Amino acid sequence: MESAPPDPPSISLRGEKATVRGHHRDDAGAAFVLLHEKERILSWLTWEGPASALELEEYYAEWCFRTEDGDDYRLGIVDNASGALAGSISLRFVGHPGVGDVGYWVGAPFQGHGLATEALTLAAHWAFRYLDTQALFAWVFDGNRASMKVLERNGFVHVRSRSTEWKDGERRREHHMSVLAEDWNERFADWLPGREDISPPR
């Protein structure tokens, strides 16, 4: 008898308030409702947002997307209190395998409860302790105080600022924030997720 194919490898890291785990197609509907035409989120991202749930379904179909340029991990943020998908956090290692670009959003109904802060800690734990990452970084638009707080609480520090072209051609200032593995490991030396299930990506 033929054996069933193995479950697709994924990760699940559970903190007090949030769980970070690989995205899957089924996240698309909930994510679309949280994102579509939500300026409160999209005004801080370079992305225009999804045109349809199908677009997200295709994007979430592979939580670990591998290309010639590097790996792109697409992780869902789940609100532990309700079990609902609350947001998303991505880690992209493009160009340099040891340096990851972090991006995230949390839907308006779930904001202000510490989910993004903890989701970033969980994602950084995975990156620094399992993926041999040397540094993580993020670009944050000027005025995004919530995101700055999330990053600073995770040990990210300001590296430099620049002016960049925005969606509508207008220019905006953005800040490069980064944390090195050695600094993160020192700061979070005693920190561990409540639970972690990790099956490495193929």
Ligand X SMILES: CC(C)(COP(=O)(O)OP(=O)(O)OC[C@H]1O[C@@H](n2cnc3c(N)ncnc32)[C@H](O)[C@@H]1OP(=O)(O)O)[C@@H](O)C(=O)NCCC(=O)NCCS
Instruction: State the residues that interact with ligand X by CB under 6 A.
Output: 41, 44-45, 104-106, 111-117, 138, 140, 144-147, 149-150
In whole angstroms, the minimum distance from the beta carbon of 47 to ligand X comes to 10
In whole angstroms, the minimum distance from the beta carbon of 40 to ligand X comes to 7
Where do runs of H (alpha helix) occur along 46-163? Answer: 53-60, 115-130, 145-153
Q: Which is nearer to ligand X, 70 or 114 (CB)?
A: 114
Picking from 93, 176, 175, the residue whose alpha carbon sits closest to that of residue 127 is: 93
Q: Which is nearer to ligand X, 44 or 188 (CB)?
A: 44
Task: Dihedral sign for Cα 12, 15, 17, 20, please.
Answer: negative
CB 57 within 8 A of CB 83: no
Contacts of 7 (CB under 8 A, 6+ apart): 199
Q: Which is nearer to ligand X, 65 or 137 (CB)?
A: 137
In whole angstroms, the minimum distance from the beta carbon of 56 to ligand X comes to 16
In whole angstroms, the minimum distance from the beta carbon of 94 to ligand X comes to 17
